[in-house]
Amino acid sequence: MAEDSLRIGGLSSGLAVILNSGDGKENPSKPRLVSYSDEFGQQSVERALEYVFGLPNKSIGPLSGPVDSSLVRSIIKNYLYSDSDSLVSNRDGVCISDNGSGPGVIGLEKFSICGEIRIVKPPLLLESLAVFSSARANAYVWKGKWMYEVILETSGIQQLGWATISCPFTDHKGVGDADDSYAFDGRRVRKWNKEAEPYGQPWVAGDVIGCCIDLAHDEISFYRNGVSLGVAFSGIRKMGPGFGYHPAVSLSQGERCELNFGARPFKYPIDGYHPLQAPPSSSSFVKQLLDCLSRLLDMQSVERAEHSSVERLRRLKRFVSLEELFYPVSHGICEEFFSVVEADCQGAEYIGWGPLLLFFMGVFGVRAPHDWLSLDRVLDVFLEFQGSHVMFEHIINALSCACKTASLVLTECPYSGSYSYLALVCHLLRREQLMVLWWKSSDFGFLFEGFLSRKSPNRQDLQCMIPSVWWPGSCEDVSTESSMLLATTALSDAVSKIEEKHRDLCLLVIQFIPPLSPPQFPGSVFRTFVQNLLLKYRGADRNMPPPGILSNSVLVSLYTVILHFLSEGFGVGNICGWLKSCDSSGHDIGFLHRGGCQSFPIGLFLKNDPHRAELSRLGGSFSHLSKSHPMHDQEAEVIRWEEGCMDDEETRVTHLTKQKPCCCSCYDMEFTKCSKYPIRTTTKSSRHHCSAIPERSAQVAAECSTGSLNEEISDKPSSSDQSESEFGYRPVQHMRTVPRDSDLASTTLREEELLDALLLLYHIGLAPNFKQASYYMSHQSQSISLLEETDKQIRERACKEQLKRLKETRNNYREEVIDCVRHCAWYRVSLFSRWKQRGMYATCMWVVQLLLVLSKLDSVFIYIPEFYLEALVDCFHVLRKSDPPFVPPAIFIKQGLTSFVTFVITHFNDPRISSADLRDLLLQSISVLVQYREYLAAFESNEVAKQRMPKALLSAFDNRSWIPVTTILLRLCKGSGFGSSKHGESSSSSIIFQGLLREACISDEELFSAFLNRLFNTLSWTMTEFSVSIREMQEKYQVLEFQQRKCCVIFDLSCNLARLLEFCTHEIPQAFLSGPDTNLRRLTELIVFILNYITSASDVEFFDLSLRRHGQSLEKVNRGMILAPLVGIIVNLLDASTDSKFKEHNDIVGVFANMDCPETMHYGLQYMLEYNWATSFRGEAYVPKLCRLENFLALLISHTDSKKIEGLECGENNADDGMCCICYASEADAQFIPCSHRSCYVCITRHLLNCQRCFFCNATVLEVVRTIENTVER
């Protein structure tokens, strides 16, 4: 009931019931009041009026006539009064100079402004347009206790505080940079008075900073959201009349803040401190009037609550109700209210933001169930007065501002944060009169953004929101886990309530039809707002966003609203007959889950709207494409396809097949609870079903589409415990409908447009948040590992000094873990609710199928904005890594997203995608997915992947993409090499793709030859870089962490490339053993180079330590990682050379022996034989391979000895002019044309693999002529 709801204005309850002592028809002019404490019929209407106006008993004598507004106003004037003198506190100590805004009004002193400051919104919402801007107010104080408030629109570098007029402002110096200048900067968490010192807490957008100065104790202090940050400065210089401290601010470029010197009530007034600008003298009198109106409403609430008792008494003694008294009394109060407001125009803003707002909040209630019936009665009376429009403008402004600054408070959940303000504004805007008033205001978009704003918590806020922290393996008390669960559940409910009200508000705007000619369609206002918002925030995704970009909470809220509309439906069947979200059965099914025939207007890609002007397309910039590939004749076309048409029929999963996608499937709901951290997943707004059943129950859907629900509510003073959204929308008053006209149908807001906006909102608003969430999740795991390692070292009981240091380190790690756990919990609450995951999954399904369909149309595909692809890939991986997980990994791709695998495979090297970064993004996706067995299975079962991926990967191994391609190939092929099975590395290897890669290499010799050449070159480069890095580290006294990390990365890459070579020698040995021995010679040279460095490092211990990463053991990082593939390469070639298929093979021993470095070769092979391979193997399966390597070494030594003997017997020959001057091992039997330089054919062929110029004179080689036994080959 309404009397149970929380009242802000301190309203009373337990009131009297108005009854009539006689027959209403016989004596209509004498209504009576019957008190609960007196006999019925003994109290008069005079007593009722005394209660309403808070007067002593029998203050009002017998009335001679009916109660009307004139009587009421006379009572007010006779008994209520405003003692303005008593309201004005002692103003001694403050001086306000006139700046043209009126006497007593505080603003900026224009001549004090340094830089460039823009008034974004009157009176004092400031933005700095210069690199650094400063300004003072036109008021100063010299004694007393004073304060002003600053609402942060942005959270960057701002210096807020006090300064005297003598403090200079320059392009580099501002508040806090002089002697009598004091400032606080929450971005850098510093206080400034010439020098900076640590102080306070980091601030966030939406914070309210109280700047207080106590000249009685010579102190300056600051408050954040009403919480003291402590005394910042003490012993400040005393001042006198004519010279004092001015409020002053300094802002960096693009920073925004709103100053309040007292023109509006403070958000967080501090006891004992006065506002610089005095409140209007009428504010107290206005509050008395509103208190009278509140008591009148309370009496009516009691009467409604006792409805049955009143009816019984009415039958017995024919009493009448308060209805006859309400209108004249309320009308009289309002007449007096507006006469006071009109008499004090400057005080209207203060009254609207203060007493009037508190009154409306008190009537409506700050938590459900809301007393909307009482509020409606008040609104009916208020709107009769012309002056009400000005007051409602102030109310809407105040509510919008309150949403920006509202914080979630755990003890107030679930009706915390901006919920109460949103609930009130939603109810107000159901009246067309007020909706039109809001829409016509010049600040419509700005206020709408305010309503959608949500303040992000900082570390201290999270500590209050989640006081107890627990994580798996923590030493905390068991009760801590349940406490954390309760806190996160309460916060989740609060976030859900706020999001629900955001949807209510946006749906009201969508339904609104502005009073324009020609008539507009539903959604036109909402579309304009979304486009303007996207235009305003363009560039927000850059590494260095442009100035003026505000917090992305508005983008996140709007994304959440649209996602719910598209996924869960609009909840009202249809919107004025346009946005239909019901199927033929009346079930409310979201756009993303309808299945069947899909369509999309191509014109969305071909428009160059202002908010899209700077957005790159897959084929390049829009201006370039419009010139090179004009598409003027296709703007009105609509592409249509059947859901799942791009998937294999055997594996196809759609919303209409028997097997449903993950977003609409039934599975074990306990899986959603497998998060490692305590959080209860809210399933209230998400529905999980086996078929395309209604998203809401049929009963609720029926109630939403009929008037029965409204009739039921009309008999109650308030709704039940369910929120209005769950009941369905109350009818919007006087909402017009527009007849459908085929000529204007294109102007209607379509769900496809909302999807387009959704993806852009995700790209610029959600992606950074998910990236931050991923950082905290990763950092949390790392911090927990470090904490556990430190605990282990403490248990080992190190020496006393070391134990002290370890405990200090442990405390630091523990604080980091606690902070990460809180942040991760908050991100799970705010970003990963169940229905959002469901909507994101359906979005991925819809978009990837759209991209695959459009990929068949080259002319359209190149016009697709890049953010479609970026949002798709990011959203996919966010869902894949989400905690709590959305679905088991085994079905994540299989049941709905097989198209994603098809898309990344077919487009990671698509030349139509002009951005190499985008192609890399697709390649990285493959790299990530193939490392997991569950996802690799999706690739193995995808026909397109099996047909195209092997050759596509080989061709993509170039100077840019070789790292991800190497990673992918290694993950597909690992497990079969020498020393690769110790740690279970074969878990994600694929026999299927190993065979497909072998076939691709054999079937396309040119492709494989080019790949192998690039592989040789790359491995040679990485090993050279590695050797240089090691040498630099040895020469430096102190090794930087960056150098060590770089060294480790290069070493890992070298090991991976060597593994790929090992795979090639195992699967395609003929590439080295058959035909020219160029590949075998290059392979041998690489082996010699690696062995020469790895086995002859001057400082073996330094080599191993230089590869040690933080927290890694030598078992995972050691020389064996690079030596193992070398052993495998040699053994693979030896095994293949014994195969009958390679009878005429190249001489392996001979090629190795001809390297002219026998000592290096012998020492290196011996080192590999003596290496402790037991650390890399399970069992002794490696022993036979080492035996073959030992036999090879024996043959090599024997061959080398034979060559030495031959050389001694024959003696050294004189240099032959006919020998190749490059290798000095073969005859110069080939000639470059046209320059005629000569060399051996082997050297020339190898050189031409990478360069088409002569290595003697750098001339371009047109032809190579080879001479064999006096015959010429071209």
Q: Between these two residues, 817 and 717, which has the higher pLDDT value? A: 817
DSSP 765: I
pLDDT at 324 over 80: no
Residue 990: per-residue pLDDT: 85
Residues in contact with 272: Cβ distance below 8 Å, sequence separation at least 6, in sequence order: 145
Count of C-beta atoms within a 10 Å radius of residue 5:
21
Residue 1142: per-residue pLDDT: 62
Residue 37: per-residue pLDDT: 36
Percent of the chain with pLDDT over 70: 79
Q: Between these two residues, 829 and 544, which has the higher pLDDT value? A: 829
Token pair recorded at residue 1262: 């047109």
Residue 215's pLDDT band, with cuts at 50, 70 and 90, is very high
Residue 489: per-residue pLDDT: 95
Residue 1201: per-residue pLDDT: 76
What would the mean pLDDT of 691-709 be, rounded to a whole number?
34
Residue 679's pLDDT band, with cuts at 50, 70 and 90, is low
Taking the C-alpha atoms of residue 863 and residue 849, their distance in angstroms, rounded to an integer, is 16
880-938 pLDDT, tens per residue? Answer: 998 888 999 999 999 999 999 999 999 999 999 999 999 999 999 999 999 999 999 99
Could you give the angle at the alpha carbon of 186 between the alpha carbons of 183 and 190, nearest 5°?
A: 60
Residue 712's pLDDT band, with cuts at 50, 70 and 90, is very low
Taking the C-alpha atoms of residue 612 and residue 608, their distance in angstroms, rounded to an integer, is 6
Residue 791: per-residue pLDDT: 86
pTM of the model: 0.85
258-280 pLDDT, tens per residue? Answer: 999 999 999 999 999 999 999 99
Residue 945's pLDDT band, with cuts at 50, 70 and 90, is very high
Residue 1153: per-residue pLDDT: 81
What would the mean pLDDT of 303-318 be, rounded to a whole number?
48
Residue 52: per-residue pLDDT: 87
Residue 39's pLDDT band, with cuts at 50, 70 and 90, is very low
- Check if CATH label 2.40.110.10 holds for domain 94-275: no
Which pairing describes strands 158-163 and 181-185: parallel, antiparallel, or unpaired?
antiparallel
Taking the C-alpha atoms of residue 453 and residue 256, their distance in angstroms, rounded to an integer, is 15
What would the mean pLDDT of 1163-1170 be, rounded to a whole number?
88
Residue 763: per-residue pLDDT: 94
Residue 677's pLDDT band, with cuts at 50, 70 and 90, is low
362-392 pLDDT, tens per residue? Answer: 999 999 999 999 999 999 999 999 999 999 9
pLDDT at 14 over 70: no
Beta strands in 5-93 (DSSP E): 17-19, 32-34, 43-44
Residue 561's pLDDT band, with cuts at 50, 70 and 90, is very high
Residue 925: per-residue pLDDT: 95
200-213 pLDDT, tens per residue? Answer: 999 999 999 999 99
DSSP code string of 911-976: TT---HHHHHHHHHHHHHHTTSHHHHHHHHT-HHHHHHHHHHHHHT-STTTHHHHHHHHHHHHTTS
Residue 1105: per-residue pLDDT: 57
pLDDT at 1256 over 80: no
CA-based nearest residue to 988, from 976, 974, 978: 974
105-152 pLDDT, tens per residue? Answer: 999 999 999 999 999 999 999 999 999 999 999 999 999 999 999 999
Burial of 721 (0-12, 13-18, 19+ CB in 10 A): exposed
Top mean-pLDDT range of 89-103, 542-556, 1044-1058: 1044-1058
Residue 1037: per-residue pLDDT: 59
Top mean-pLDDT range of 320-329, 702-711, 1055-1064: 1055-1064
Inter-residue long-range contacts of 981-986, CB under 8 Å, 24+ positions, other chains counted: 981/1177, 981/1178, 982/1175, 982/1176, 982/1177, 982/1178, 983/1116
Classify 274 as helix, strand or coil: strand
1096-1125 pLDDT, tens per residue? Answer: 655 455 556 555 544 444 445 678 888 999
Count CA atoms within 13 Å of residue 298 on its CB side. 25
Token pair recorded at residue 166: 């003598």
CA-based nearest residue to 200, from 192, 190, 208: 190
pLDDT at 742 over 70: no
First to last CA, the chain: 101
Torsion sign over Cα 134, 136, 142, 145: negative
Backbone angles phi, psi at 32, to 5 degrees: -125, 160
Residue 775: per-residue pLDDT: 94
Backbone angles phi, psi at 366, to 5 degrees: -90, -5
pLDDT at 986 over 70: no
Residue 1048's pLDDT band, with cuts at 50, 70 and 90, is confident
* CATH superfamily to which 1230-1273 belongs: Zinc/RING finger domain, C3HC4 (zinc finger) (3.30.40.10)
Residue 530's pLDDT band, with cuts at 50, 70 and 90, is very high
